[in-house]
């Protein structure tokens, strides 16, 4: 949470998104808690908080899909590539729409 506060103070919402992406590589729960606490304390805009959580979740899903693709069998890769791709693409489009509407 200290890193999130520093990122927001130093780099505004871009810093929050960068830290969310980095944290999303391993876990989403920690970033959800940090961002929610900052948004609840009025230190972070709710839209930025929501976008950061979705961004972390998408990065997390992409990381897990990549790991499964490279370490799993060919059959597993066939099963996960399309659904993971659809979800990540839909999330990215949704985030883009939110950013453009803003």
Give the pLDDT confidence score for residue 73 in this predicted structure: 92
| pLDDT tens per residue, range 34-50 | 888 888 888 888 888 88
The token duo for 98 is 């939110």
Strands (E), 1-95: none
- In whole angstroms, give the CA distance from residue 35 to residue 46: 9
7 pLDDT above the threshold of 80: no
9 pLDDT above the threshold of 70: no
Residue 43 vs residue 56, higher pLDDT: 56
pTM above 0.85, yes or no: no
71 pLDDT above the threshold of 70: yes
């Amino acid at each position: 949470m200290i890193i999130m506060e520093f990122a927001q103070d130093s780099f505004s919402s871009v810093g929050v998104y960068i830290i969310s992406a980095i944290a999303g590589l391993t876990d989403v729960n920690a970033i959800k808690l940090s961002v929610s606490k900052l948004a609840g304390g009025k230190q972070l805009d709710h839209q930025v908080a929501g976008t950061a959580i979705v961004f972390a979740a998408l990065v997390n899903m992409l990381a897990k899909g990549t790991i499964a693709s490279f370490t799993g069998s060919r059959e597993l890769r066939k099963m996960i590539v399309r659904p993971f791709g659809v979800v990540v693409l839909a999330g990215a489009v949704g985030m883009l729409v939110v950013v453009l509407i803003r």
